[in-house]
Structure 1
Amino acid sequence: MHAFEFTEPLETERLLLRRETDADVDAIHSWQSREDVCRYLLYEPRDRATVAVKVAEDAARTRLEKNGDYLQLAVERRGDNQVIGQMFLTVDNAEYSTLEVGWVFHPDVSGRGYASESALAVLSLGFETMGVHRIIASLTPENTASVQLCLRLGMREEAHFVEDMFIKGRWEDTGVYAILDREWSARND
């Protein structure tokens, strides 16, 4: 795995994945404040002040090299420059060349392929630029939209842990999906 410094946005046909800025706080708050969106996330709905602090903290993260390093990227629609979601990428295990990916999008843009387009760009960064061996996604198995996205990306279910996390006052299951570098290469040949 090669260390990576995020200096330039990732561009796709319709999207720009870039560092978050203070100007993104209202857009990000528009989904992070929603109960239906936070249902499958590790946190409760956030107020604007909390989102502003988190955006500032995330914007300072630009390097992927060691365990726990992460990028939290704003997903901006190119046509109207509207921030519609976030992509997350973290070093899960540097020694074993493993990254973890995650995403959240405003429900108003669901079903348009933005999550797939963004996730493919992030997987490409991991496999083709950083040379990682494996990328995983950990999620609540009840989140069928994310499960379906994992499958569309070519990831396979590797584990279903029963009541392994105590979140928001209750025990939750965790599903783990993964794709290997050779599977990515075969998929994109």
Structure 2
Amino acid sequence: MKLQTDRLLIKPFETNHLNDVFKIYNDETTCQFLLHGKWTDENKERKFKKKLKHNQLTKENTLNLAVLVDSEVIGDLSVWYTDMKDTVEIGYTFSKSVSGKGYATEAVSALIDYLFEVVQVHRIQANLDARNTASRNLCERVGMRKEAHFVQDFWNKGEWTDSIVFGMLKSDLENAKDKNLDY
């Protein structure tokens, strides 16, 4: 599976992407709101092998995709099925070095289009740490709606955190396109 946008190539990870991905995940602030800590020299190969293995979306398997600009990995997209029929959850992480350039919006929008049009999912959702304003803003930019805010519902990295759930149906995407929103 490959997706091409005006500026990006989105495809499964390849072995030569390890160092680019390590640069992304070896940053404490990038990993602040993720479920895991920053990658280290000791665990990077083990963690990266999981991304290589997850190269196809199935009911049992997560799909991990590299987001590339000029053959450099600048981001990571993940998709997995939830327990609800035809519903997937998405996750994303991007290098701080590309913040503010619209790459995350472009990549996530392309992924959403692919999931609705090709995979034909019914619903897409994203669950995030409520403190992650960049992620929240991205969800809103791509046309997702905030559906829930749970207070201290998730124990992560030694503390209780709030969670926000965003959701989207295909009709939400069509409405965003009709209104010429920058999704």
What is the TM-score of this pair, normalised by structure 1?
Answer: 0.89
Query: Any gaps of 5 or more consecutive residues in structure 1?
Result: 1-7
Alignment partner for residue 30 of structure 2, among 11, 29, 37?
A: 37
1:48 and 2:38 are equivalent in the alignment: no
Query: Any gaps of 5 or more consecutive residues in structure 2?
Result: 179-183
Q: Which residue of 1 aligns with 2:161?
A: 172
Alignment partner for residue 131 of structure 1, among 107, 116, 120?
A: 120
- The answer on whether the counterparts of 1:22 and 1:52 sit within 8 Å (CA) in structure 2 is no
Q: Which residue of 2 aligns with 1:3?
A: none
Alignment partner for residue 159 of structure 1, among 144, 148, 166?
A: 148
Q: Which amino acid aligns with 1:64?
A: L
Q: Which residue of 1 aligns with 2:64?
A: 72
User: Following TM superposition, by how much is the alpha carbon of 1:165 offset from its aligned partner in structure 2, in angstroms?
Assistant: 1.2
User: Following TM superposition, by how much is the alpha carbon of 1:16 offset from its aligned partner in structure 2, in angstroms?
Assistant: 0.7
Q: Which residue of 2 aligns with 1:86?
A: 76
**1:34-91 Cα distance to aligned partner (Å, 9 max, x none):** 111111100111113422222222212233231x5211111110xx311111111111
Alignment of 1:7-46 (within 5 A): 8-46=1-39
- Between the aligned residues of both structures, percent identity stands at 35
User: Following TM superposition, by how much is the alpha carbon of 1:123 offset from its aligned partner in structure 2, in angstroms?
Assistant: 0.3
- The answer on whether the counterparts of 1:21 and 1:56 sit within 8 Å (CA) in structure 2 is no
1:63 and 2:56 are equivalent in the alignment: yes
Q: Which amino acid aligns with 2:167?
A: A
Quote the RMSD (CA, aligned, Å).
Answer: 1.4
Aligned residues: 178
Partners of 2:48 and 2:3 lie apart in 1 by 19
- The answer on whether the counterparts of 2:13 and 2:55 sit within 8 Å (CA) in structure 1 is no
Partners of 1:112 and 1:48 lie apart in 2 by 29
Q: Which amino acid aligns with 2:80?
A: T
Partners of 2:130 and 2:51 lie apart in 1 by 26
What is the TM-score of this pair, normalised by structure 2?
Answer: 0.92
Q: Which amino acid aligns with 2:19?
A: D
